[in-house]
A and B are shown apart, each in its own frame.
Chain A
Amino acid sequence: RKEVEQDPGPFNVPEGATVAFNCTYSNSASQSFFWYRQDCRKEPKLLMSVYSSGNEDGRFTAQLNRASQYISLLIRDSKLSDSATYLCVVSPSNTGNQFYFGTGTSLTVIP
């Protein structure tokens, strides 16, 4: 079983739509959770760390559900510039060096 699983999409949504991605992880003891955004032929950029209480940054909201072992990312009022691949990343500890990447979810926002 993979450490981290994501729906690869693609998600094609109109501008202004709300879209949500989920990511499941297999290790119930995982401690750190992240969403990265990666544009075509560029490096992954940290979008948000995901905290137990959930966190919001503008149009982006991340949630952690430890009981069901998944994290989610909600994007409201989608913009054309949100088109990218979104990578879910999970680490088994808060201090170690192991990070497990999902395969990424492709989002295209359509005018």
Chain B
Amino acid sequence: DTEVTQTPKHLVMGMTNKKSLKCEQHMGHRAMYWYKQKAKKPPELMFVYSYEKLSINESVPSRFSPECPNSSLLNLHLHALQPEDSALYLCASQDYSYNEQFFGPGTRLTVL
């Protein structure tokens, strides 16, 4: 089973709201990622957790706050976002055995 799940599928929020995106995998993968993807562009790396520790933070603004409660879960907390943050937010997990990444279906975020 190569399934990564993400909730919610769609999210509309105002610039003063606080919301969270959730990602889950039960494949035993020990690395999990957040990417941001704009239309007609490749995914852009935001954060990586490896063995539940933050290993890469690509200078993402502090209005995005990641959290890895355990090896199966990854959250992205959102606060005071800007309209330009509207995008598809993708979670991925990595199988270290083959170095392959598997993506979840994404959360389509609109900031008004």
A residues bordering B, Cβ < 8 Å? 31-32, 34, 41-46, 49, 87, 89, 91, 93-95, 97-99, 101-104
Contacts and interface: CB of A to CB of B under 8 A. Distances in A.
Which one of B96, B103, B108 has the highest number of Cβ atoms from chain A below 10 Å of its Cβ?
B103
Contacts of A46: 2, 100-102
B99 A94 contact: yes
Interface of B: 2, 31, 33, 41-43, 45, 48, 50, 55-56, 88, 90, 94, 96, 98-106, 108
A91 B56 CA distance: 15
A45 B100 CA distance: 11
25 contacts: A31-B99, A34-B100, A34-B101, A41-B108, A42-B105, A43-B104, A44-B43, A44-B90, A46-B2, A46-B101, A46-B102, A49-B100, A91-B99, A93-B99, A95-B96, A95-B99, A97-B33, A97-B56, A97-B94, A98-B45, A99-B101, A101-B43, A102-B42, A103-B41, A103-B42
